[in-house]
Amino acid sequence: MSKVENQNNMEKTWELQPREKALLFCMQGFVERYLGEGRSVCWVDRKDVRGFVEKDLSLKKIYIAVGQPATDAGFSVANGIYFYKKPFKLRHGEQYFLTLLHEIGHVKIKPPIPKRYVEVRRLLERDYPNDRELQVYNVANYVKQRRNETVEKWQGVVLDIQSWIATGLADSQHIEIDKWAVREFRRKHGEIREILKECGY
């Protein structure tokens, strides 16, 4: 029988409800239409995230947190770093598909990194080889403030580069993934509602 995976060691914990089993099956088919066969969707017992993909994409797993609240989608799935201009309400169950689309976006789309970021990282890797902590700490010293660039804009660039070096994904990239997920969610909303209805939500 299907069970939820534990947040720390992925051990099996409790039994899923019938509708959660049905929804997992439907989400699997949803993923295959975007990414093809071979990538599995799993429920996971975590409270600190809505979902995630394995860093090693060859493992081909997408995890969705079971029991996540159906809050208003007025902020980004990506830790609230981007606020939508037109928030919209989520019905129960729809949060799983918005999260799923966000995680699909991590695999499907690759937002470009500005040349400015690449050059800064190249210099940091030259001066602080094999020391990511020092690279992140010294980013501000390598980012020149451009003419007509406000202090706030410059600080935003510094933080974005720090995020990219520290995690491999800049906040600006995460935002683009989130925008794509919202566009897809709205485009597929009618179909998503039908799937949820069939699964008992």
pLDDT tens digits, the chain, 201 residues: what are they?
455 565 544 444 457 788 889 999 999 999 999 998 888 899 988 888 888 887 666 667 899 988 887 765 544 544 444 455 566 678 889 999 999 999 999 989 989 999 999 999 999 999 999 999 999 999 999 999 999 999 999 999 999 999 999 999 999 998 899 889 988 998 999 999 999 999 998
Q: Give the separation between CA 80 and CA 75, rounded to whole angstroms.
A: 5
CATH number, position 191: 3.30.2010.10
Whether 77 is in a domain gets the answer: no
Whether residue 78 lies inside any domain: the answer is: no
28 occurs within a structural domain? yes
- The backbone torsions φ and ψ at residue 47, rounded to the nearest 5 degrees and listed phi first, read -105, -15
Task: Find the domain containing 15 and state its range.
Answer: 3-68+83-111+173-198
106 lies in the same domain as 130: no
Pairing relationship of beta strands 3-6 and 40-45 according to DSSP bridges: parallel
The predicted model scores a pTM of 0.82
Radius of gyration of the chain (CA): 19
* Same-domain status, 100 and 163: no
Q: Are residues 90 and 156 in the same domain?
A: no
Question: Would residue 55 count as lying in a domain?
Answer: yes
Do 36 and 55 belong together in one domain? yes
Q: Considering the domain boundaries, does residue 74 fall inside one?
A: no
Could you tell me if residue 76 is inside a domain?
A: no
Residues 94 and 190 in one domain: yes
| Residues 126, 47 share a domain | no
3-state helix/strand/coil string of 51-86: EEECCCHHHCEEEEECCCCCCCEEECCCCCCCEEEE
Count structural domains, the chain. 2
What's 138's DSSP letter?
Answer: T
Is 129 found in the same domain as 179? no
Please indicate, yes or no, whether residues 153 and 92 belong to a single structural domain of this protein. no
Classify residue 73: in a domain, yes or no: no
Distance CA 76, CA 60 (A): 24
* SS3 call for 191: helix
